[in-house]
Chains A and B, each alone.
Chain A
Amino acid sequence: MANPSPAPAPQALPKAAFFSFASCEGCQLQVLSIEDQLLTLLGAVEIVNFREAIDDRRDDYDIAFIEGSLVRPEDIEEIQQIRKRARILIAIGACACLGGVNAIRNKRTPAQLAREVYDGRQDGVFKTLSDASPVRSVVQVDYELRGCPIDRDELLETLRSLLAGTVPYVPPFAVCVQCTMRGTPCMLERGLPCVGSVARAGCEAICPAFGAPCEACRGVHDSPNFEALGEAFFRHGLPRYVAAEKLQLFNNYKEIREPWEKALPSPSIT
């Protein structure tokens, strides 16, 4: 290593740790992709646990960033430990905040899954929880950074707010707001099943801008109207149940599913 620095002991920086449960680690990758400001960040916080990039592992952290859904019995214990140690716990990404794509499977039992994937040959061997769950279903979460993956700029804004000592801003409104401002022609008008009108903004509506319908990877906004979503689909020649099918992709964890499930006809995929 480099020579020990003769500089006076630096004042204690807040210590941050990153933990990853069932996920693709794309969110942690977004953390690494704040290239131009990574060095500033390293000057402002001490990263004590970031398995993706560093060897050190320590348990004395102030801020814990949690990526991924909880899917195994031991995940529950681990997250409870982390919660005990961390002053601030932040769930990052759809997996940690909503269950995300992991929760698509939630309506099927582990045994069913095993059967489907292994032609029944490996029935019952999975030691997984019956539901892939968001972090807040187990411990209290202080802040949630939404998105699949999280947005680089939003991550920076959140870090900046926390370092400054205040709360981050979470947009309360629909993806359509940012989509329309961008001037993207509406996906529904093109016959694509977009749920942007009930989805929470913050992503700058990149999906419609890049040709794909919004799939609500940030969950729903503060006043979603699911009946009207079905109506919007219907008026654009899409069956209402397709709206539910779309919401299944990221919002299928039971508590999150409940409101839309009540308002929309059941999806054909179960």
Chain B
Amino acid sequence: MVQNRMIPEPCRIYEAMQQTPREVHFVVEAPKREPFRPEPGQFVMISIPGIGEAPISLAALPGEGAAEGTFEMLIRRAGRLTNLITRLKPGDTMYVRGPFGRRVTWEKFEGSNLILIAGGLGLAPLRPFVQRSLLHRELFRRIDILVGARAPEEILFKEDLASWSARRDDVRVLVSVDAARSTWSGRIGVITTLFDEIDADVEDAYAFICGPPVMYRHCLRKLLGMGLYENHLWMTLERRMKCGIGLCGNCQMNGLYVCQEGPLFSYREVRHLKEAV
């Protein structure tokens, strides 16, 4: 019988770092059954046999943000499976299938400005975009990284943000929180308030957005208003997914399968879809 593509592979956990009370940052051995060469925006299905499976974005790709033969994820405790996954320790095993999702080639982004926008947990899937662009810094013009969180203590990947900020001339990192106590000295306000601080030429920029469902509509309106081209605006969309391979149907968005044609879409591709954003 042909290898059943629903059967996962055991992958060892190398590191498990508690980022916030709800979120754990994992460094995991990459699957080996087939070459594991994911692109930014792709995801894997992770599971614990007997409990369940869930789609999780790659938060660092092997050989780029993560060491060869490993990849990273940031997992939030949200339900049946993730309650348990987030308790796993280095040395434990999780079960992985993937990578899944569309592979977007990067040639078209080269030579442009990049605006990378993440809200909340959205920073996890966005991280490989940042890492790829920094790795090939010379191929891009200005890079702006805009990060929003609900509160200071919910800001993820703080070390990354610090090290990206440290590359002062190279990239600009802007962080804002929705609300904070007086100890917070940074910006306060929804993420779109940061857009006014972008000084790159928006008409020659590609933007990547990833965040909670409510964030998209506001970001889109503002960016388009600033002159961004519809096909330069990319976003990752979340949907319920049960297979990752275009069968289970849960992730359909009008006629599209998010797990196949997405989760990374350009606004041009989904603009006319009533169910997209």
Chain A residues within 8 Å of B, Cβ to Cβ: 160-161, 164-167, 169
Contact = CB atoms under 8 A, between A and B. Distances in A.
A160 B50 CA distance: 10
A165 B80 contact: no
Contacts, number: 19
A167 B87 contact: no
Contacts of A160: 50
A218 to B, nearest CB: 19
B79 A167 contact: yes
19 contacts: A160-B50, A161-B51, A161-B80, A164-B50, A164-B51, A164-B84, A165-B83, A165-B84, A165-B87, A166-B51, A166-B79, A166-B80, A166-B81, A166-B83, A166-B84, A167-B79, A167-B80, A167-B83, A169-B80
A261 B57 CA distance: 46
A161 B84 CA distance: 10
A211 to B, nearest CB: 33
A192 B100 CA distance: 48
A164 B80 CA distance: 10
Interface in B44-89: 50-51, 79-81, 83-84, 87
A164 B83 CA distance: 10
Contacts of B80: 161, 166-167, 169
A167 B80 CA distance: 5
Given A160-B50, A161-B80, A166-B81, 5 more contacts: A164-B84, A166-B51, A166-B79, A166-B83, A167-B79
B250 to A, nearest CB: 13
Nearest to A167: B80
A24 to B, nearest CB: 31
Interface in B1-50: 50
Interface residues of B, number: 8
Nearest to A160: B50
Nearest to A168: B80
A190 B187 CA distance: 66
Contacts of A167: 79-80, 83
Nearest to B84: A166
Nearest to A161: B80
Contacts of B83: 165-167
A164, A166, A169 — which one has the most chain B CB atoms within 10 A of its CB?
Answer: A166
Nearest to B87: A165
Contacts of A165: 83-84, 87
A165 B84 CA distance: 7
A148 to B, nearest CB: 25
A165 B50 CA distance: 13
Contacts of A169: 80
B156 to A, nearest CB: 23
10 closest cross-chain pairs (CB), A and B: A166-B83, A166-B84, A166-B80, A167-B80, A165-B84, A169-B80, A164-B84, A167-B83, A164-B51, A166-B51
A123 B51 CA distance: 55
A160 B87 CA distance: 17
A44 to B, nearest CB: 14
A161 B50 CA distance: 9
Nearest to A165: B84
Contacts of B50: 160, 164
A169 B51 CA distance: 10
A165 B83 CA distance: 8
Contacts of A161: 51, 80
Contacts of B81: 166
Contacts of A166: 51, 79-81, 83-84
Contacts of B84: 164-166
Nearest to B79: A167
A166 B79 CA distance: 8
A145 to B, nearest CB: 16
Interface in B106-132: none
Contacts of A164: 50-51, 84
Contacts of B87: 165
A166 B83 CA distance: 6
B51 to A, nearest CB: 7
A267 to B, nearest CB: 38
Nearest to A169: B80
A167 B82 CA distance: 10
A5 B79 CA distance: 40
A154 to B, nearest CB: 14
Nearest to B80: A166
A202 B35 CA distance: 41
B63 to A, nearest CB: 34
B242 to A, nearest CB: 13
A79 to B, nearest CB: 27
A108 to B, nearest CB: 42
A164 B51 CA distance: 9
